[in-house]
């Protein structure tokens, strides 16, 4: 009988401990995405002051621009990139995940189309929850 009482007591302790842990997990549940808003950098790409390049040079600059986008994306720095569908002054946009505006400016200056003056830019702080494309770090690709 004494052994039964000890085993029952141990079982109750284990069950209570499990209940307490589950309750603790419930109250320490991860925050909602909107509770974790953080800053990114929105870049509006504009027509640059030098758009007089011949077609071969313009094509080479575009190729370098696209290679730079891929590089920055794979490094986890560039979260969104894309052109606009019209031929207006706004050419496209970037959203960067960088610590400072100065870092974004350095990355932009390394873009061949920007360096050649074919594209210009405006940088603005922008905020969203770090989910989906905005998760910190490098993207997970199928070839890794």
Can you give the residue ranges of every domain in the chain? 2-30, 34-134
pLDDT at 143: 64
φ and ψ of 98, to 5 deg: -135, 155
The answer, yes or no, to whether residue 117 has pLDDT greater than 80, is yes
Residue 122 bridge partners (DSSP): 44
Segment 103-131 shows an average pLDDT of: 96
Tell me the pTM. 0.72
CATH of range 34-134; options 3.30.70.1060, 1.10.10.410, 3.40.640.10, 1.20.1740.10: 3.30.70.1060
The answer, yes or no, to whether residue 128 has pLDDT greater than 60, is yes
CA 119 – CA 111 distance, rounded (Å)? 9
Q: What is the full DSSP assignment across 109-144?
A: HTSHHHHTTSEEEEEEEEEE-S-GGGSSSPPP-TT-
Position 8 confidence tier, pLDDT thresholds 50, 70, 90: very low
Q: In terms of C-beta distances under 8 Å and separation of at least 24 residues, what long-range contacts does 130-135 make, across chains too?
A: 130/33, 130/36, 130/38, 131/33, 133/79, 133/80, 134/40, 134/79, 134/95, 134/97
pLDDT at 34: 67
């Amino acid at each position: 009988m004494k052994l039964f009482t000890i085993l029952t007591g141990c079982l109750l302790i284990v069950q209570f401990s499990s209940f307490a842990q589950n309750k603790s997990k419930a109250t320490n549940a991860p925050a909602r995405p909107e509770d974790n808003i953080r800053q990114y950098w929105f870049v509006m790409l504009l027509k640059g002051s030098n758009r007089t390049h011949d077609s071969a040079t313009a094509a080479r600059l575009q190729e370098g621009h696209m290679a730079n986008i891929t590089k920055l994306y794979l490094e986890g720095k560039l979260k969104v990139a894309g052109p606009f569908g019209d031929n207006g002054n706004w050419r496209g946009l970037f959203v960067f995940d960088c610590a400072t505006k100065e870092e974004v400016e350095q990355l932009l200056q390394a873009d061949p189309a920007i360096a050649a003056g074919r594209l210009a830019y405006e940088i603005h702080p922008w905020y969203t929850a770090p989910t989906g494309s905005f998760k910190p770090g490098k993207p997970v690709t199928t070839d890794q």
